[in-house]
Amino acid sequence: MKKQLPMFLVFLCGMIMIVQFVVPHEYSQTLFQHSQDFVIVIGVLALPIGIYSLMKSTVTKARREPKERLYSLITIIGFAVMIIAGLKRDWFTSSTSLSSNLFNYILVPAQATLFSMLAFYIASAAYRAFRARTALAAVLLITAFVVMLRLIPMPEPLSTWNAEFVRWILEVPNMAAKRAILIGVGLGAVTYSIKLLLGIERAYMGGD
Amino acid sequence: MRLSGLFWILLVLCAGFTGPARGQGASDLAPPTDLVAADIPNDKGHGVQLTWEPSADASRVQFYEIYRLPYRPPDEGPPLRPEETVDDDWMRVGAVAGGVTAYAQTEGNTTIGAENNPLYVPRDAPTYYRVRARAADGTLSAFTPAVTGIAKGNWFHTQRVNVLVIAFVLGALMLYFIQKAKRGEKIYIRPIPGLSRIDEAIGRATEMGRPILFVLGTGTAAEIATLAGYTILARVAEKTAEYQTPLLVPVNDPVMMVMAKATVKEAYLKAGRPDVYNPDNIFYISAMQFPYVAAVNGLMLREKTATNFYMGVFHAESLLLAEAGSITGSIQISGTDRVAQIPFFVAATDYTLIGEELYAASAYLAQDPKLVGPLKAQDMVKAAILMLAVLGVLEMTVFKTEWIRSLITPH
């Protein structure tokens, strides 16, 4: 019963969603909208569990590992300050409130800093990936070189030739590979969904 | 003399008020003709499609203006009818360029609470439209006669028949191959390096006495790739239970955390080592992308994880995670269905499950006929699609016809 009931619910909800997919009527769309709202409700209800988990792991870490104590303390203080700063609705929505200032001038720059590191990570990953150790890696290296050349000013007619060749690379072999992956992903997703509906795939519930 | 001057001034003013500039009197610009208002098919029932024949002076028309009678909610009185209205009652809903002779009005199809909008298109009730032309010099044509459009809710989406057919064919093939596999017939699955190295990667972490990190991505539990990630997590957890290697699963969604705990706990029970299961190793960090990445990267650097798995939905954080793992010298296995992130994983991790390989993991790892059969069915459909693509290209190139294309394109 512990497994049968969730599996029945998965089957029922899945079948409703399949029917909903081919019925564009307002009733069907309203049902879909409500199901989406229900997902949000579940997410909101689960949030306290997440917060409890975060605080528990942070406090445990602070207790057990002295080296982690500072980071844990920052997490706890940040958590408490953000809660207090957002206690009133207008504190949270006003663009000049403490909550907005903390968000805009601490969190957003911190996130942007982390995101900007991507540029350096791309360079180091590309350096490793573009070592021509095999024939295929050599093809990758040459192709990448040609594609990057498009961004460099070159004299005519080299520039036009290169632009045309790069366009062909992107629109023909590159697009073919992307579409092949997308077709595989689409079919794989449908197969996986049918397996979930029929109860064949149960690993997400903890297996058999 | 003064009276006659006043008369002429009044005459000019009257001509100005009632003349063609308001589109009510005679105009030398011919109006569009044959206005038709029809229901838009395959929608929820709040869309009307207008079509008309261009004005006889099409070369002069800068654009066509579309007018309608505003929607009146039932509690505010009966719907407005053209014969009971004057020009000022009509509302302009839009305009299209002179060369265009169609307009779709869909207020209410996509907007929530659109009933309060006078442009709302009610379902199963008449909406009245008329169109006029406007020339570049501001000259307006007369209006077309008002027409009625009734938007209807449709019960079947005819453009999704192809998806339905392919799902049924796939389902039937799945059942066939499951039966075949159950009868003991050998079904070949090509080796997938990323999956065959899972045991090796876990063994390495065990030998080094360092933990294993499993990242389920930054998607939600409602996404197929995330669910596929749980399949691999179950397998990895079973092995780590056997080897008593710590398994860390930081997640970005509380629902995913609950599911991950259930998956890992079941796997430890299955392995006969529930005593080794530590629920604190599966924890929530943040729902925000970059705080989550910062925490996971910090975890890798401090805990010195020996093996990192990235299985699920990934966005811009894919390379940030994979490169941090690469810096710590971990063996890394990744898998995602996001095409844009696959190159980053290929460049930065040791093994990558590309697209559908992620979904094939359960069949590959379990070798259960019930799981292997669907995989074969999927391959058969894929082969059929490939064949159709090749035949379609040949047909269009050699015979210059598009029969195959019309067969698979929704009508």
- Per-residue pLDDT tens over the stretch B284-332: 999 999 999 999 999 999 999 999 999 999 998 999 999 999 989 999 9
Residue B348 contacts A, CB cutoff 8 Å: yes
Angstrom distance (rounded) from CA B376 to CA B174:
8
Number of residues that make up chain B: 411
Cβ separation of B45 and A206 shorter than 8 Å?
no
CA B353, B354, B360, B364 dihedral sign is negative
Cβ atoms of A25 and B151 within 8 Å: the answer is no
**Cβ neighbours around A26 below 10 Å, total:** 18
Cβ separation of B284 and A196 shorter than 8 Å?
no
Give residue B411's pLDDT.
63
Q: Which of A195-199, B99-103, B282-286 has the lowest mean pLDDT?
A: A195-199
Q: How large is the average pLDDT for residues B256-270?
A: 93
| Nearest residue on chain B to A61, alpha-carbon basis | B280
Q: Which amino acid is at A47?
A: L
**Cβ burial A165-181 (10 Å sphere, 16+ → b, else e):** ebeeeeeeeeeeeeebb
Q: What is the DSSP string of B335-395?
A: EES-TTTHHHHHHHSSEEEETHHHHTHHHHHH--HHHHHHHHHHHHHHHHHHHHHHHHHHI
- Model confidence at A48: pLDDT above 90: yes
Top mean-pLDDT range of A170-179, B73-82, B112-121: A170-179
In chain B, the percentage of residues whose pLDDT exceeds 90 is: 59
Cβ separation of B259 and A196 shorter than 8 Å?
no
Cβ separation of B42 and A24 shorter than 8 Å?
yes
In this structure, the dihedral spanned by the alpha carbons of residues B322, B323, B324 and B327, taken in order and rounded to 10 degrees, is 120
- Model confidence at B21: pLDDT above 70: no
Residue B172 contacts A, CB cutoff 8 Å: no
CA B317, B323, B328, B329 dihedral sign is positive
Angstrom distance (rounded) from CA A112 to CA B290:
9
Angstrom distance (rounded) from CA B232 to CA B360:
10
Give residue B236's pLDDT.
93
Residue B176 contacts A, CB cutoff 8 Å: no
Comparing CA positions, the residue from B116, B120, B146 lying closest to residue B132 is B146
Give residue B308's pLDDT.
95
Structure-block tokens of residue A6 = 């969730």
pTM for this predicted structure: 0.82
Give me chain B's average pLDDT, please: 87
Angstrom distance (rounded) from CA A56 to CA A68:
14
SS3 call for B129: strand
Reported as a pLDDT band with limits 50, 70 and 90, residue B159 is: confident
Cβ separation of B284 and A28 shorter than 8 Å?
no
Cβ separation of A206 and B228 shorter than 8 Å?
no
- Model confidence at B176: pLDDT above 80: yes
Query: Which residues in chain A are contacts of B293 at CB distance < 8 A?
Result: 114
Structure-block tokens of residue B257 = 């955390």
Angstrom distance (rounded) from CA B23 to CA B388:
55
Residue A25 φ/ψ, nearest 5 degrees: -55, 155
| Tens of pLDDT, residues B180-225 | 888 888 888 888 888 888 989 999 999 999 999 999 999 998 899 9
* Distant-in-sequence, close-in-space partners of B25: CB < 8 Å, separation ≥ 6: B18, B19
CB-nearest to B347 from A27, A39, A129 is A129
Degrees, nearest 5: CA angle A178-B232-A39: 80
Comparing CA positions, the residue from B128, B131, B133, B132 lying closest to residue B147 is B128
The count of CB pairs under 8 A between chains A and B is 205
CA B305 to chain centre: 36
Burial environment of residue A66 by CB neighbours within 10 A (0 to 12, 13 to 18, 19 or more):
exposed
Query: Which residues in chain B are contacts of A60 at CB distance < 8 A?
Result: 280
Q: How large is the average pLDDT for residues A149-175?
A: 90
Comparing CA positions, the residue from B114, B127, B113 lying closest to residue B49 is B127
Q: What is the DSSP string of B298-327?
A: HHHHHHT-SEEEEEEE--THHHHHHHHHHH
Comparing CA positions, the residue from A21, A14, A187, A185 lying closest to residue B374 is A187
